[in-house]
Chains A and B, each alone.
Chain A
Amino acid sequence: MSFVNYHSKEINCKIVYYGPGLGGKTTNIQHVYQKTSGDSKGKIISLNNENERTLFFDFLPLDLGEIRGFKTRFHLYTVPGQVFYEASRKLILRGVDGVVFVADSQVERLDANIESLKSLESNLLEQGYDMSQIPIIMQWNKRDLPNVMSTEDLSEKLNKWNLQEFEGIATQGNGVFESLKHISKLVLMNLKSGVE
């Protein structure tokens, strides 16, 4: 979970990009990496297989500025999307503060989206959360492709929780920072205060 260090006035939060395989999770954080100034980002770490598919996770530490006197650092992770890496996804979700669900808007990927969403729901439940207890947003990615579902249909099929939705074309950067800013805001507003 998030960690507020009152001594150094620092906040650390963990955001996980979740979704079906080849949906654009890694592309999201690669875009964040490319567009972030050198001082603010750490090294991007990708544990991939030989086909450049995510094997365990991608990780990007991101130092943002200060908010109300606290330095903020976000740790961005992606999970491997391929179905058989469920154990890895469970591990990466541990201690999560917020989730960006990156759905593939293409009609033929609806079943994969649904399966991935079910996996998210059940893995969060194993940690004692339900979908309404933790900041989550939906990103409808790949909006530039010809065979996409309408956003209304995506909402109806995938967003029964009425979570905030964003359209994205991660390969061009569209929607990437909008999604990140919004989930960051929800995560920060969800932090509990403590007294040293």
Chain B
Amino acid sequence: MFSLENLPKLAHEFFSEVADLSQLTNSSLFLCRSDGVPLYVRNELNSEFDDASVGALLGGVWQAARAMASFIPNSSMEEEYRLSFDTSDKGIYIVPVSLDGEEVYLGLIYFNEVNPGMIKAKLREISWRLAEFWTMVNIKAEVQDSNLFNNITDEEMDNLFASTLQ
């Protein structure tokens, strides 16, 4: 079970107060779970951008790349992989961050960047700082074995879907 209950709140705190994002202009920064659920998004792109879609694609592309990487002789998933898809001035860069043994992904979509190497290095540094920050401030959520909801009725489900249907 995914155990990082506090992460969205702490990620917001980290990116707004701790991490220095001033060098990451012309870009969109996002933190996602391995199954594509977005945890934090800072969108500075003008293009149409949908958090959930970006998360799903990121989760998919990372998992696919990891599966392909398993064909590399003598490779180990313990090694620190990064994923880069870019031209000389625009692209996508993704790094994994391990928090309490759970892997999440920090990604950047950027354009008009004169020094992509510099912002990639910056993203890696942010990922290390995020892991440190997490270790320092996270108070672990107590996970109970009880269910969150008991006996949801069909009427509640109808109400849940009612506003969704055209």
Contacts and interface: CB of A to CB of B under 8 A. Distances in A.
B141 A91 contact: no
Contacts of B34: 94-95
Nearest to B150: A189
B141 A67 contact: no
Interface in A51-85: 56-57, 59, 61-68, 72-73, 75, 77
A14 B1 CA distance: 13
B56 A75 contact: yes
B97 to A, nearest CB: 16
Contact of B143 (A14, A42, A192): A192
| Interface SS of B by simple majority | mixed
B25 to A, nearest CB: 26
Contacts, number: 141
Given A1-B1, A68-B149, A192-B1, A40 B52 contact: no
A107 interface: no
A7 B144 contact: no
A9 to B, nearest CB: 11
A101 B143 CA distance: 30
A40 B147 CA distance: 26
Given A63-B164, A66-B160, A192-B143, 14 more contacts: A2-B2, A4-B5, A36-B165, A42-B53, A61-B50, A67-B149, A67-B156, A68-B156, A95-B34, A181-B158, A184-B157, A192-B146, A192-B148, A194-B141
Interface of B: 1-2, 5-6, 8-9, 33-37, 50, 52-53, 56-57, 60, 63-64, 67, 141-152, 154, 156-166
